Amino acid sequence: MKLDPTSQTLTLSGAVDIDRAIQLKERLLTLLSLPSPHAVVDLAQVTEMDLAGVQVLAAAALCARRMGKQWRFCNPPQEVRSKLILVGLNADVLPLS
């Protein structure tokens, strides 16, 4: 996980699963605390995602909306994209690049 405060982008890689959920939550909270009206989570390098990973991302997206931030997931692999859409985050997913 790499957070770029300049572009307000959190880049995830590898498995986004229960083993990394706490670390992911902490990074997402840091992303949300940045003084910017938008936040981006780049999923291009994610190899797999389980329900815990989806749940943490969904909670962060909801929190961002409540804070009035524009929240986007970008570059999701098709499997990850399908899971995000399945839980209703289709409005938050940028088109595949």
Question: Which domains, and CATH codes, for the chain?
Answer: 2-92 (3.30.750.24)
Q: Is 51 left (phi over 0), alpha (psi -120 to 50) or beta?
A: alpha
- CA angle, 60 as apex, 55 and 63 as ends, to 5°? 125
pTM of the model: 0.88
Question: Six-digit token pair at 30?
Answer: 């840091």
Which residue bears the tokens 């300049």?
6
Q: What is the pLDDT of residues 46-93, one digit of tens each?
A: 999 999 999 999 999 999 999 999 999 999 999 998 888 888 887 666
